[in-house]
A and B are shown apart, each in its own frame.
Chain A
Amino acid sequence: DTAVSQTPKYLVTQMGNDKSIKCEQNLGHDTMYWYKQDSKKFLKIMFSYNNKELIINETVPNRFSPKSPDKAHLNLHINSLELGDSAVYFCASSLGQGAYTEAFFGQGTRLTVV
């Protein structure tokens, strides 16, 4: 029944490793997002995809590469992980990008780089 689901919920890894976070939504939405929530609790958009096409790329290091195999999935791959990548990453989806469109968030993936 989960609308936006992310896996894994927790991820602990060493510096320099490559890891992926998966996101799937069953709401029939055509727009998906990745947000990063840092230690100060601010949520900042990283990427958005509309119908598998990249719409927003907020000057995220190119070590972060989103991949959207279809409009129900938006995965996030991170290369050469750094300590500063430790954060909670949220996937979200919406029906289009209209001003009053509601965004639905996943439960988050807490990434800890050691």
Chain B
Amino acid sequence: KNQVEQSPQSLIILEGKNCTLQCNYTVSPFSNLRWYKQDTGRGPVSLTIMTFSENTKSNGRYTATLDADTKQSSLHITASQLSDSASYICVVLGESNDYKLSFGAGTTVTVRA
């Protein structure tokens, strides 16, 4: 069973609307949690990195939240744009010296005009 689960698998929203993506993880002990954006045919690009002591972090219209007690994170996209259409991947790094990232399967977001 994968240690990082994301929901929904995909969603479609209208341009200008908001949406929230969910991530649950079981990686323990925990170091940090990242959200990546992956455009079709491209590699993932980092949006945010949060440690266990951080509850929220923003990057423009993207806001990530983290509850380390319940091992849940969310990514909120505000006022969506067509360019937000992509896969959003939740990634967790456990506490170790080998930088092994655990990836979720991603949520595919489609923004329609």
Q: Which residues of A approach B to under 8 Å, CB–CB?
A: 4, 31, 40-45, 48, 55-56, 58, 90, 92, 94, 97-108
Contacts and interface: CB of A to CB of B under 8 A. Distances in A.
Nearest to B87: A41
A108 B49 CA distance: 22
Interface string B44-71: 1110010100000000000000000000
Interface in B77-103: 87, 89, 93, 95, 97-101, 103
Given A41-B106, A43-B89, A108-B43, A103 B101 contact: yes
B49 A45 contact: no
Interface size class of B (residues with CB under 8 A): 20 to 34
Given A97-B98, A99-B93, A105 B103 contact: no
A102 to B, nearest CB: 6
Contact of A106 (B2, B43, B103): B43
A22 to B, nearest CB: 15
A64 to B, nearest CB: 17
B99 A94 contact: yes
19 contacts: A40-B105, A41-B87, A41-B105, A42-B2, A48-B99, A55-B98, A56-B99, A58-B100, A90-B44, A97-B98, A98-B99, A99-B31, A99-B95, A102-B46, A102-B49, A103-B101, A107-B41, A108-B42, A108-B43
Contacts of A106: 43
Contact of B32 (A40, A44, A48, A100): A100
A104 B34 CA distance: 13
Contacts of A103: 46, 101
A42 B45 contact: no
